Structures are given as C-alpha cells and as structure tokens.
C-alpha cells in the first residue's frame, strides 16, 4: 500500500488530491501551515471529511522552518502543493512571504528528498510562469516570461526541481496548472467571488473589458493529473494541466447568470498589474505521456461550485 506526502493538504487542490489518493486505497500524510492568506476556517472545513478517514494523518508544520527529513523518509512519493498563492498580492514587501513559502520551502523539501527512492516528487507550478505567451495554445517549451512576482516564484520552484533531478536524481515532475476552479476554491479567486456575489445579490468587480480569456480546469481533473504524474510522469519533465475549456471572462459571467437564474451586476475597474491577457494550454504532452484527459465541462464545474457555495452560505 502506497503512502504519500501531500503538502498544502488543507488547501483547495490539496484537499481534493488527498481524497483522490485515499479513494485509491493509498495512505496519506497531509501537512499545512495554515497561512493567513485566507481564513483558517475555510481550510479546516476542507479537512473535515479527511480527518475522519482511515489512512489519513495530518501534521501542522512550516516547510520553510521545520525539520523535514523524518516525514519524507516514511513515504513513497511527495506531492508538493503548498505555496503562497495570489498574483496581485505578490508585489512589494509581501514578496518575502513568497520567497519563504514558495522558493525556500521547495528547496528544503527537495533537499530532504535527495537520498530517497520515491516514485516521484510532483511539484505544483502555474501557467503564470508563461506570462503573456506570444502564441496559443502554449506548449511547455515556450519561453517563460512571468509578469508577476508570484509567477517568478513558481518558475524558481521549477528550476529547483530540475536542479535536484539533474544533480541528485530526485524524480521531479512539475505541473503547470491553468486556472483551477470548483468546490473549495479560495475566497480570493474570481469564480468564488462572482458566484457568492450573485447568490447574495451584490455587484461584482470586473477588471478590464472582460475579454481576457483563460483555460479553465476543474479541480477534480487537476487532482487526477497529479495522480497520473506520480504514477507515469517522466523524471525531470514539465506538463501543462489545462481543462480544455477556454472562455472569456464575459462568457463565464454570462454562464454564471444562467446557472443562478439572473444576470450578475457588474462594476468595471482598471486592469490589475500582473494579470495576463490570455492563457491557453497545449496538453498534448500530458495526454501522451501520463494519460491526462480532463472530463468536466465548464458548465458542469460551475454548477458544482455554485451548489457547494449555496451549502456554505446557508449554513
């Protein structure tokens, strides 16, 4: 029976991945430091079902400070999802947090894995590393040009992974997520903010003209991509993880109105620094090498997130 470490286990994608692994019969050690980026209450809610599941152990710890050797010595593979998120919050003095939680934590975890024979070290990166990609759909070999400090920190993590693969044989696999959404989405993310505002009858803030587009990925598909990367990913590789559902923000807002039965009231605001205009994933490499095949349509995923939010708001 495999035993895996999942960092960021109390987070949005991490909690779904833990459930996916437990459902396959694996044992999971989940860690999280409960950063103050958003309320601990949200993360505790993500863990609620996991804490009652056989085979799941949870440890509250800080990857940038605490000893890691013992915990990695007891697992067969590592999923490193823990990170300080947020493009717009990564500027100025706040960047020191990104250095600790994204760069230093990743280096320390890789260092602890140097002499271990793990199946893989799966690292959660981001499409933010591409910046404003010149072509689409974007392939993994595109030159990375991040336009936010957050994107820089995630790209640094990828480089660290390759360094430890190249020099010490750590079987790293990096996954570049494209705009993941769904139940348990962080409160700062657009889909959750928009759907919550619609439920509560409040206006939403839309930055720019709304014609910016994203390749949206349902969280269940992202979790499955992690599992496939652990089992089939080539050491030292990087894969795009995208949902194949590219849409403009205006199209998404219209779809949300249909789901909720009334159009959302919009307030237009200036474009935010660090926001890219378009993202579009070429997932052919992930399809060919790890069997990645996203299954959830955008309309289905939005309905699932809407239903989850209704349950939270009415409690």
Mind telling me the catalytic residues?
A: 150
Q: In whole angstroms, give the CA distance from residue 263 to residue 257.
A: 4
CA distances from 143 to 135, 155, 161, 221 (A): 11, 11, 18, 26
Q: Would you tell me how many other CB atoms lie within 10 Å of the CB of residue 222?
A: 28
* Residues β-bridged to residue 281: 138
- SS3 string of the chain? CCEEEEECCCCHHHHHHHHHHHHCCCEEEEEECCCCCCCHHHHHHHHHHHHCCCCEEEEECCCCCCCCHHHHHCCCEEEECCCCCCCCCCCHHHHHHHHHHHHHHHHHHHHHCCCCCCCCEEEEEEHHHHCCCCCCCECCCCCCCCCCHHHHHHHHHHHHHHHHHHHHCCCEEEEEECCEECCCCCCCCHHHHHHHHHHHCCCEEEECCCCCEEEEEEHHHHHHHHHHHHHHCCCCEEEEECCCEEEEHHHHHHHHHHHHCCCCCEEEECCCCCCCCECCECCHHHHHHHCCCCCCCHHHHHHHHHHHHHHHHCC
Q: What backbone torsions phi and psi does residue 80 show, to the nearest 5 degrees?
A: -100, 95
């Amino acid at each position: 029976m495999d035993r895996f470490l999942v960092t960021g286990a109390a987070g949005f994608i991490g909690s779904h991945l833990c459930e996916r692994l437990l459902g396959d019969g694996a044992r999971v050690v989940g860690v999280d430091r409960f950063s103050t980026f958003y309320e601990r209450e949200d993360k505790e809610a993500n863990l609620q079902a996991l804490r009652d599941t056989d085979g799941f152990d949870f440890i509250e710890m800080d990857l940038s400070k605490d000893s890691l050797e013992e915990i990695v010595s007891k697992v067969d593979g590592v999923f490193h999802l823990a990170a300080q998120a947020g493009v717009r919050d990564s500027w100025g003095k706040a960047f020191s947090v990104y250095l600790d939680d994204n760069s230093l934590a990743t280096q320390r975890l890789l260092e602890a894995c140097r002499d271990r024979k793990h199946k893989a070290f799966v690292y959660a990166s981001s499409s933010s590393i591409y910046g404003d990609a010149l072509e689409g759909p974007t392939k993994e070999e595109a030159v990375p040009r991040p336009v936010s400090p957050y994107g820089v920190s995630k790209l640094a993590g990828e480089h660290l992974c390759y360094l430890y693969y190249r020099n010490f044989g750590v079987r790293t696999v990096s996954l570049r997520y494209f705009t993941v959404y769904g139940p348990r989405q962080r409160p700062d993310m657009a889909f959750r903010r928009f759907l919550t505002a619609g439920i509560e009858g409040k206006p939403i803030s839309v930055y720019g003209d709304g014609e910016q587009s994203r390749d949206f990925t349902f969280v269940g598909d992202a979790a499955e991509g992690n599992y496939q990367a652990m089992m089939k990913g080539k050491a030292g590789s990087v894969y795009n993880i995208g949902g194949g559902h590219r849409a403009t923000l205006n199209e998404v807002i219209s779809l949300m109105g249909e789901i909720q039965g009334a159009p959302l009231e919009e307030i237009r605001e200036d474009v935010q620094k660090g926001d890219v205009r378009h993202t579009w994933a070429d997932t052919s490499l992930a399809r060919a090498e790890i069997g990645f095949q996203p299954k959830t349509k955008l309309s289905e995923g939005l309905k699932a997130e809407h239903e989850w939010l209704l349950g939270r708001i009415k409690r």
